Amino acid sequence: MRRSGTKSVARLKAKSRRPKDSPGYDRLAAMSARIDAARNASYVRRPVFDGTLEVVAYEVILGDGPITEVVVDDETRRLVVNSVVELDVAKIGAGNPLQLTMSASALETELPPELGPDQVTVVLGAGLSSSPSVVSALEHLRGLGYRVMLDDPTANPELHQLLRLADAVKINFGHRAGPALAKQIAILRTAGVDLVADHIETYEELRSASQQGFSQFQGTFLSKPDGFRSTRVPAGQIAALELMALLQSPDADISDIAEVIRRDVSLSYRILKVVNSAQYSLPRPLASIEEAVTLVGTKQIIEWVAMMSMSKVNNKPNELTKVAMVRARVCEALAERLGRQDRQRFHVVGLFSVIDALLDVPADKALGALPLDPEIVDAIVSQGGIMGEALMGVIAYEKGDWARAHIMGISDDALAAAFRDATAGADTAWSQIHQ
């Protein structure tokens, strides 16, 4: 399984194997062990988009590589993968199937019901052979209804032998541009498989991949601008962003929050609709924003407002709003772990860290139009200070860049737990406002 930062990790581990009496050995060995621990205990999910930029699946990237074994915990009914990582499939997928890269040994084991055909697409990647046992296992899985995807067959010629058993093929689009890619696409089209473009880094590449026949897309393009259209925030979008910024004030009370929300009639309507829904089983409908804030709590209302406001700005994919909310939650959780009293400021840094991608305007220009503390702006634009350091670590973890996903004073287990909780929380909040 590919991940960024592997070359630097390899160099570090090579250095850690130097003689024990050499300068810096203890520090390098400890850092190497820490990277191994982060890999072994961590996972991230990467969205897979269709042509309308709706999420159709999530790829799960495990820190220690492909799945080699799956055990079901009898008490929690969660999957324990490779004896280290626990996966709650229903929560991680948020209603979407998961793409899981599996080793030969995992393929040849009967998968538990929690990894049924509706929940999982089996991905075959580097290092997998086309041995008779693997072919037999794939035939069995396809007979049960599982979809099979080949991950970049050009990097592993053995996968070509399995093409007849594949439903989809993932190609590293960034490394396969030009005539070679066109030839490969023509061959795969005759095989009747879906084409998935991976490592799409810009919206321009996204459009190019779509024109060349790819039907699904993955990559870092989501968190990047679609070209800078201007250096000024469009006037029609400032109001929504100002509302988000005003609600982030640690001094805001219920009346302040209600007053800000009432400025937007459609927002007020949506908030009351959510709170009056069946999930709260109220004896009577609430008629005011103040009542809604009192019932649900300021933190939950503020998060809903942020998600509603962000999701209607500039017609960007909904998943970008989720990315912002996960970053905000993780940054706040890290601040709490660090014993900081300014946790809300960390939350704001994570929330507005996608503003350039959201508006297609340089971050410094977009943030300059909002009532934000200069230290918050510096953390987002230049990754300055402890808040900027936290944001860098969060973004590195988000990419599965384990070598850089470290934050001073935060254990790797704590960072992994913060991401798990933040992802589940953001999914829940999103489902609440879109029920």
| Band of residue 245 on the pLDDT scale cut at 50, 70, 90 | confident
Q: For 297-304, what is the mean pLDDT?
A: 86
Domain of residue 293, CATH code: 1.10.3210.10
For the domain that residue 82 is a member of, what is the CATH number? Answer: 3.20.20.450
- Asked whether residue 33 carries a pLDDT value surpassing 80, the answer given is no
pLDDT digits (tens, 9 = 90+) for 143-184: 999 999 999 888 788 888 899 999 999 998 876 667 778 888
Q: What local confidence, expressed as pLDDT, does residue 170 receive?
A: 94
Residue 26 has a pLDDT of 64
Q: Which of 26-35, 141-150, 155-164, 221-230 has the highest mean pLDDT?
A: 141-150
Domain match, 251 and 217 both: no
- Could you tell me if 405 and 344 lie in one domain? yes
How far apart CA 130 and CA 126 sit, in angstroms, is 12
What percentage of the chain reaches a pLDDT higher than 70?
A: 88
Q: What is the 3-state secondary structure (H, E, C) of 271-315?
A: HHHHHCCHHHCCCCCCCCHHHHHHHHCHHHHHHHHHHHHHHCCCC
Q: Are residues 141 and 113 in the same domain?
A: yes
Structure tokens at 125: 């990647």
Q: Is the model's pLDDT at 128 over the cut of 70?
A: yes
pLDDT tier, 316 (very low <50, low <70, confident <90, very high otherwise): confident
- Name the domain count of the chain: 2
AA identity, residue 342: D
Beta-bridge partner residues of 100: 60, 122
Over residues 264-284, the pLDDT tens digits come to 788 888 888 888 887 777 778
Specify whether the CB–CB gap between 252 and 246 falls below 8 A: yes
Region 345-358: mean pLDDT is 93
Vertex 400 angle, CA 396 and 402, to 5° = 70
Give, rounded to a whole angstrom, the gap between the first and last alpha carbons of the chain: 36
Is residue 118 one of the residues assigned to a domain?
yes
CA–CA gap between residue 120 and residue 118 (Å, rounded)? 6
Q: Which domain holds residue 344?
A: 235-433
Average pLDDT of the segment spanning 333-344: 93
Please name which of 181, 178, 174 lies closest in space to residue 198, comparing C-alpha atoms: 174
In a domain, residue 326? The reply is: yes
Token pair for 3: 């991940």
Indicate whether 214 and 274 sit together in one domain: no
Q: Which residue has the higher pLDDT, 182 or 37?
A: 182
Span of 95-109, 199-213, 269-283, 344-358 with lowest mean pLDDT: 269-283
Q: Determine the average pLDDT of the residues in 190-194.
A: 89
Mark whether 368 and 348 lie in a shared domain: yes
The answer on pLDDT for 93 being more than 50 is yes
The residue with greater pLDDT, 260 or 325, is: 325
pLDDT for 10 beyond 70: no
294 shares its domain with 408: yes
Q: What pLDDT, on a 0 to 100 scale, did the predictor assign at position 23?
A: 54
Mean pLDDT, rounded, for 384-402: 93
- pLDDT of 24 > 60? The answer is no
pTM for the model stands at: 0.84
Is the residue at 135 inside a domain? Answer: yes
Closest CA to 326 of 397, 272, 381: 397
Q: Choose the final residue of a domain: 198, 223, 248.
A: 223
In-domain check, residue 164: yes
Residue 19 in any domain: the answer is no
> What residues are paired with 70 via a beta bridge?
81
For residue 96, is it left (φ>0), alpha (ψ between -120 and 50) or beta?
beta
One domain for residues 181 and 245: no
**Confidence check: pLDDT of 429 > 60:** yes
Q: What would the mean pLDDT of 360-378 be, rounded to a whole number?
A: 90
Q: How far is CA 288 from CA 55, 135, 271, 309, in A?
A: 34, 62, 10, 19
- Percent of the chain surpassing pLDDT 90: 42
106 assigned to some structural domain: yes
The answer to whether position 376 is within a domain reads: yes
In this prediction, residue 11 carries a pLDDT of 44
CA distance 151 to 147: 13
Residues 178, 297, single domain; the answer is: no
Same-domain pairing of 72 and 210: yes
pLDDT reading at 399 higher than 50 = yes
Which residue, 223, 245, 267, sits at the end of a domain?
223
Q: Identify residue 221 by its one-letter amino acid code.
A: F
| SS3 assignment for 143-200 | HCCCEEEEECHHHCHHHHHHHHHCCEEEEEHHHCCCHHHHHHHHHHHHCCCEEEEECC
**Residue-averaged pLDDT of the chain:** 84
Q: 295 falls in which pLDDT band (50, 70, 90)?
A: confident
Q: Is position 73 within any domain?
A: yes
